[in-house]
A and B are shown apart, each in its own frame.
Chain A
Amino acid sequence: MSAGTTTASPPPFWRRIDPAKLLPQLIAPVAALLLAAVISWIALSLTGKDAAQAFSDMLDFGTQPDSIVEILNKASEYYIAAVAVAIGFKMGLFNIGVEGQSKIGAFMAGALASASFMSWMPGSLRIVLIIVVAAIVGAIWASIAALLKTQRGVSEVISTLMLNAIAGQVVTWLLNDHWGVQQPGAQIKTTGVLPESSWMPGLPIVSGTDQKVLGFLAIAAVLGVVYWFTINRTRFGFDLRATGYNPFAATASGVSAKKMVITAMVISGAIGGLVNLPRMLGETHTYTEGFGGIGFTGIAVALLGRNHPVGMALGAILWGFLARSQLILDLDGIPKEIVVIMQGVAVLSVVVAYELANRIGRRAQQKRVGAATAAPVGSAPLATASEESK
Chain B
Amino acid sequence: MSTDAMLSAVAAGPAAPKRRRMSTSRILLIIAGTLIGLSLVHLLTGADDVTSQGAIQAALQAAVPIGLAGLGGLWSERAGVVNIGLEGQMILGTWFGAWGSLNYGPWVGLLIGIAGGAIGGLLHALATVTFGVDHIISGVAITLLAPGITRYLSFIVWGSGGATQSPALKPDQTVPRVSVPFVDKLAGLEKHHWFLVSDLAGVLRGLLVDVSLVTVLAVLLIVGTGLVLWRSPFGLRVRSVGEDPRAAESLGINVYKYKYYGVVISGAMAGLGGVYLSTVSSVIFREGQTGGRGYIGLAAMIFGNWRPGGLALGASLFGYTDALQLRRGSESVHALLILVGALLLALAVWEFVRRNTVVGVAAGVLGILSYVIYFTVDKIPTALVQATPYITVLVVLALAAQRLRMPAADGKTYRRGG
Q: Identify the A interface with B (CB < 8 A).
A: 43, 47, 94, 96, 148, 151-155, 157-159, 161-166, 169-170, 172-173, 176-177, 296, 299-300, 303, 330, 335, 337-338, 340-345, 347-348, 351-352, 355-356, 359
B145 at the interface (CB under 8 A from A): yes
Contacts A159-B394, A351-B141 given; indicate if A153 touches B402 (C-beta within 8 A): yes
Question: Do B145 and A345 touch (CB < 8 A)?
Answer: yes
List 6 additional contacts besides A166-B391, A359-B132; criterion CB under 8 Å.
A173-B384, A337-B151, A337-B152, A341-B148, A344-B147, A348-B142
CB-CB contacts below 8 Å: B167-215 with A: none
B381 at the interface (CB under 8 A from A): yes
A/B interface sample: 25 pairs, CB < 8 A: A43-B152, A148-B394, A154-B401, A158-B299, A158-B397, A162-B391, A162-B393, A162-B394, A165-B291, A166-B390, A169-B387, A170-B387, A176-B383, A177-B383, A335-B156, A337-B154, A338-B152, A340-B147, A345-B145, A348-B138, A348-B141, A348-B144, A351-B137, A352-B127, A356-B131
Question: Do B302 and A344 touch (CB < 8 A)?
Answer: no
B386 at the interface (CB under 8 A from A): yes
Q: How far is the CB of A252 from chain B (nearest CB, A)?
A: 20
Question: Do A344 and B144 touch (CB < 8 A)?
Answer: yes
B217 at the interface (CB under 8 A from A): no
Contacts A43-B152, A47-B156, A162-B390 given; indicate if A157 touches B136 (C-beta within 8 A): yes
Interface centre among A96, A154, A299, A300 (most CB of B within 10 A): A154
Question: Do A337 and B127 touch (CB < 8 A)?
Answer: no
- In the complex, the chain B residue whose C-beta lies closest to that of A158 is B299
* In the complex, per-residue mask of B74-109: 1 if CB is within 8 Å of any chain A CB, else 0: 000000000010000000000000000000000000
Contacts A303-B137, A337-B152 given; indicate if A158 touches B145 (C-beta within 8 A): no
Q: How far is the CB of B169 from chain A (nearest CB, A)?
A: 23
Q: How far is the CB of B147 from chain A (nearest CB, A)?
A: 7
Question: Do B384 and A347 touch (CB < 8 A)?
Answer: no
B253 at the interface (CB under 8 A from A): no
CB-CB contacts below 8 Å: B334-383 with A: 358-359, 381-383
- Separation of A351 and B137 alpha carbons in the complex (Å): 8
Q: How far is the CB of A69 from chain B (nearest CB, A)?
A: 26
Please name all residues of chain B whose beta carbon is closer than 8 Å to the beta carbon of A164 when the two chains form the complex.
292
Question: Do B398 and A343 touch (CB < 8 A)?
Answer: no
Please name all residues of chain B whose beta carbon is closer than 8 Å to the beta carbon of A355 when the two chains form the complex.
131-133
- In the complex, the chain A residue whose C-beta lies closest to that of B384 is A173
- Separation of A152 and B401 alpha carbons in the complex (Å): 6
* In the complex, per-residue mask of B387-418: 1 if CB is within 8 Å of any chain A CB, else 0: 10011011001110110000000000000000
- Separation of A162 and B296 alpha carbons in the complex (Å): 8
- In the complex, the chain A residue whose C-beta lies closest to that of B130 is A352
Query: Of B144, B154, B291, which one neighbours A343 at CB under 8 angstroms?
Result: B144
Query: Of A162, A342, A348, which one neighbours B123 at CB under 8 angstroms?
Result: A348
- Separation of A343 and B146 alpha carbons in the complex (Å): 11
- In the complex, the chain A residue whose C-beta lies closest to that of B137 is A351
Question: Do A344 and B149 touch (CB < 8 A)?
Answer: yes
Please name all residues of chain A whose beta carbon is closer than 8 Å to the beta carbon of B152 when the two chains form the complex.
43, 335, 337-338, 340-341
Chain A interface, >50% SS class: helix
Question: Do B137 and A155 touch (CB < 8 A)?
Answer: no
Q: Identify the B interface with A (CB < 8 A).
A: 84, 123, 127, 131-134, 136-138, 140-142, 144-149, 151-152, 154-156, 160, 163, 291-292, 295, 298-299, 302, 358-359, 381-384, 386-387, 390-391, 393-394, 397-399, 401-402
Please name all residues of chain A whose beta carbon is closer than 8 Å to the beta carbon of B134 when the two chains form the complex.
351
Contacts A335-B156, A337-B152 given; indicate if A155 touches B302 (C-beta within 8 A): yes
Q: How far is the CB of B235 from chain A (nearest CB, A)?
A: 25
Question: Do B144 and A299 touch (CB < 8 A)?
Answer: yes
Question: Do B393 and A337 touch (CB < 8 A)?
Answer: no
Question: Do B127 and A348 touch (CB < 8 A)?
Answer: yes
- In the complex, the chain A residue whose C-beta lies closest to that of B294 is A161
Q: How far is the CB of B370 from chain A (nearest CB, A)?
A: 16
Please name all residues of chain B whose beta carbon is closer than 8 Å to the beta carbon of A161 when the two chains form the complex.
292, 295
Chain B interface, >50% SS class: helix
Question: Do B384 and A170 touch (CB < 8 A)?
Answer: yes
Question: Do A303 and B295 touch (CB < 8 A)?
Answer: no
Interface centre among A159, A162, A352, A356 (most CB of B within 10 A): A162
- In the complex, the chain B residue whose C-beta lies closest to that of A334 is B155
Please name all residues of chain B whose beta carbon is closer than 8 Å to the beta carbon of A170 when the two chains form the complex.
383-384, 387
- Separation of A335 and B384 alpha carbons in the complex (Å): 36
Query: Of A148, A340, A343, A356, which one neighbours B397 at CB under 8 angstroms?
Result: A148
Please name all residues of chain B whose beta carbon is closer than 8 Å to the beta carbon of A335 when the two chains form the complex.
152, 155-156, 160, 163
- Separation of A241 and B282 alpha carbons in the complex (Å): 47
Interface centre among B152, B383, B387, B390 (most CB of A within 10 A): B152
Please name all residues of chain A whose beta carbon is closer than 8 Å to the beta carbon of B359 when the two chains form the complex.
152
Q: How far is the CB of A78 from chain B (nearest CB, A)?
A: 13
- In the complex, the chain B residue whose C-beta lies closest to that of A44 is B152
- In the complex, the chain B residue whose C-beta lies closest to that of A348 is B141
Query: Of B132, B141, B402, which one neighbours A152 at CB under 8 angstroms?
Result: B402
Q: How far is the CB of A178 from chain B (nearest CB, A)?
A: 9
Question: Do B295 and A158 touch (CB < 8 A)?
Answer: yes
Please name all residues of chain A whose beta carbon is closer than 8 Å to the beta carbon of B144 when the two chains form the complex.
296, 299-300, 343-344, 347-348
Q: How far is the CB of B331 from chain A (nearest CB, A)?
A: 17
- In the complex, the chain A residue whose C-beta lies closest to that of B380 is A173
- In the complex, the chain B residue whose C-beta lies closest to that of A341 is B148
Please name all residues of chain A whose beta carbon is closer than 8 Å to the beta carbon of B149 when the two chains form the complex.
341, 344
Q: How far is the CB of B165 from chain A (nearest CB, A)?
A: 14
- Separation of A351 and B398 alpha carbons in the complex (Å): 32
Please name all residues of chain A whose beta carbon is closer than 8 Å to the beta carbon of B398 when the two chains form the complex.
148, 152, 154
Interface centre among B154, B384, B387, B399 (most CB of A within 10 A): B387
Q: How far is the CB of B385 from chain A (nearest CB, A)?
A: 9
Please name all residues of chain A whose beta carbon is closer than 8 Å to the beta carbon of B84 when the two chains form the complex.
157
- Separation of A32 and B335 alpha carbons in the complex (Å): 53
Question: Do A337 and B163 touch (CB < 8 A)?
Answer: yes
Question: Do B145 and A344 touch (CB < 8 A)?
Answer: yes
- Separation of A38 and B400 alpha carbons in the complex (Å): 47
- Separation of A340 and B144 alpha carbons in the complex (Å): 9
Please name all residues of chain A whose beta carbon is closer than 8 Å to the beta carbon of B397 when the two chains form the complex.
148, 152, 154, 158-159
Q: How far is the CB of A223 from chain B (nearest CB, A)?
A: 23
- Separation of A253 and B401 alpha carbons in the complex (Å): 28
Query: Of A162, A176, A337, A359, which one neighbours B155 at CB under 8 angstroms?
Result: A337
- Separation of A154 and B393 alpha carbons in the complex (Å): 11
Q: How far is the CB of A166 from chain B (nearest CB, A)?
A: 5
- Separation of A176 and B386 alpha carbons in the complex (Å): 14
Question: Do B383 and A165 touch (CB < 8 A)?
Answer: no
